Amino acid sequence: MLWMYQRVFYGEARQRCGCASPTSTCANGAVVIPLIAMMVWMGVYSQSFLPPVSKTTARVLEQTQVNVPIEVRIEHPPRMPVEAADAR
């Protein structure tokens, strides 16, 4: 089924660096393979990079939880004088 789809939409498959897709090259593989290796490393050995991230996150949380006094002032708009004609 996939072979038929490839033939219909992409034409005859060309061989470049052992890749079957007409748009893929060896440069694409050189980029994708390290990304896949990093994903596997982050999934299997996550404790190797989580402690430094936790330390930084804890420092940011400490800085944001500092009690800073905030004074809120609500200024009301000035009242319009009531004219004699409106005061009937």
pLDDT at 52: 83
pLDDT at 68: 64
pLDDT at 6: 79
Are the C-beta atoms of residues 54 and 61 closer than 8 Å to each other? no
pLDDT at 30: 84
Return d(Cα 36, Cα 45) in angstroms, integer: 14
Domain segments of the chain as ranges? 1-44
pLDDT, block means (10 residues), the chain with 88 residues: 78 59 70 91 87 85 74 79 60
The alpha carbon torsion through 18, 20, 21, 22 (nearest 10 deg) reads 80
Task: Write down the pTM of the prediction.
Answer: 0.38
